Amino acid sequence: MITKIKLNKVSLLGLALVLVFPSLILSLPADRMIARQLNRMPLGINLNRIDDYSTEYAFLDVFKTSRAWISGNQTDWEDGRSLDLDEQGWVRSLKPGQIARTLMFWDLSKAPGGYPSGRYVVQYDGEGTIEYTRNVHRIETSPGRETLEVDSTAGGIGFFITSVNPSNYLHNIRMRMPSDAPDGEIFNPAFLESIKNYRVIRFILWMAIDGDDTPQGPCLQRRWSDRPKVEDARWSGTHGVPLEMMIALCN
């Protein structure tokens, strides 16, 4: 007499795993066998390049994701003039009437989930004048520190330097997004949660060694001395993320 056995999808998958992996313990229930094997599978993921319009929000210091400086003035968003930057990318001086602009979370106010509204804390060294887009309001201000209230539904964050002291220019600018993470934490806990189940992380886009991702695009990292540094103004675009940050994420 032949007994009919009803197999569901889980049981069939368990049988397939036993056939492919004969070393599995056959006495274990199928569900447990599947769970054990899935936990061992080296599933990996590519991380997106760091850009002001990326929705991964990897770093709590969102200034590291900001767009390259844009030279403009009171009437022109972009005037084509060069900016006087130091080797780390900070604005050393401004020409008459010049404004140095950068953007964060740009065009993401309508993205699924948007970016976080709430209290952002800006810290910096040096002296200068900073202005923001209309959706950003100062709550507290003290030397080297500003607390901002940001409405993410009204657009991204614009950060504009309108004056600097050339002998003590603005540098080491940080902008921490709203988070309960402890001080000193580098990565956004929501980002860490989103990648926790992967066993392999591919950093080619973080490293930006492909330039602008086109065959003709410039590669900015030809020598060890060209590599991105932790102290650089930003890690976005074709600049790339420092190796130290990739190692920290893996550990």
pLDDT of residue 222: 77
Other beta carbons within 10 Å of 108: 20
Identify the pLDDT of residue 14: 42
Number of neighbouring beta carbons within 10 Å of residue 125? 13
Question: Taking 50 as the threshold, does the pLDDT of residue 15 lie above it?
Answer: no
Q: What percent of the chain has pLDDT over 90?
A: 64
Using a 10 angstrom Cβ sphere, with 0-12 exposed, 13-18 middle and 19 or more buried, the burial of residue 163 is middle
Q: Which helix (H) or strand (E) holds 192?
A: helix 189-195
Residue type, 28: L
Query: What is the tens place of the pLDDT at every residue in 125-181?
Result: 999 999 999 999 999 999 999 999 999 999 999 999 999 999 999 999 999 999 999
pLDDT tens digits, 115-128: 999 999 999 999 99
Is the predicted pLDDT of residue 3 greater than 60, yes or no? no
Band (224; pLDDT cuts 50, 70, 90)? confident
pLDDT of residue 112: 67
Residues 6+ apart with CB under 8 A from 29: 14
**pTM for the full predicted model:** 0.80
What is the pairing mode between strands 118-125 and 128-132? unpaired
Residue closest to 48 by CA, chosen among 232, 191, 198, 226: 191
Q: Is 224 exposed, middle or buried (0-12, 13-18, 19+ CB in 10 A)?
A: exposed
Taking the domains of the chain in order of start, what are their residue ranges?
1-32, 45-250
Q: Summarize pLDDT for 37-68 with one digit per residue, the tens.
A: 556 556 788 999 999 999 999 999 999 999 99
